[in-house]
Amino acid sequence: MKEEIQCAAHFLSSLLHRGLSTREQAERFSNKLQELLSQRFHDHWHPDKPQRGSGFRCIRINHKLDPLVEEALAYCGLGGPKGNSVLPKELALWIDPKDVSYRIGEDGSICQLQLIYEEFECLCL
């Protein structure tokens, strides 16, 4: 669970970092989001049945920030319009055992993030 959460948090952090003034803010965001996701997924992680609870582990931005993303942004001083302005207006990020995937836009392709320690790579399906 730790690797998948770390991968997802680093991915969102990289989207933020392009529009942020400091790398420190992006790192604080990533660390806080990892903490929040770990708490949220604690009883909803089933490696033997990876699709079980998949909807619960989806982070959605649909012109409105997911509450955990919003909380992590506020924690690192990026709450309000600044943090929201650099994230895609529509994003789905699925965090499942051994799989982290995302889609930007309702009609976008689903891309998989490879779990390679602290790096990620987009593999479009």
What pLDDT, in 10s, does the model give residues 27-59? 899 999 999 999 998 877 777 877 776 778 899
Q: Which two tokens stand for residue 51?
A: 């699709």
Q: What are the boundaries of each domain within the chain? A: 2-124
What pLDDT, in 10s, does the model give residues 4-26? 999 999 999 888 877 666 788 88
Q: Quote the CA–CA distance of 40 and 56 in Å, as a whole number.
A: 9
Q: How confident is the model at residue 122 (pLDDT cuts 50, 70, 90)?
A: very low
Res 117 pLDDT > 50: no
Q: From 3.30.70.260, 3.90.640.90, 3.30.1120.80, 3.40.50.1000, which CATH number describes the 2-124 domain?
A: 3.90.640.90
Residue 15: CB partners within 8 Å, gap ≥ 6?
A: 86, 87, 88
When pLDDT is averaged across residues 91-112 and rounded to a whole number, the result is 91
Please, what is the average pLDDT of the chain?
83
pTM over 0.85: no
Q: Quote the CA–CA distance of 98 and 57 in Å, as a whole number.
A: 13
Res 97 pLDDT > 60: yes
Q: Quote the CA–CA distance of 97 and 50 in Å, as a whole number.
A: 5
**Given its phi and psi angles, is residue 112 left (phi above 0), alpha (psi -120 to 50 degrees) or beta?**
beta
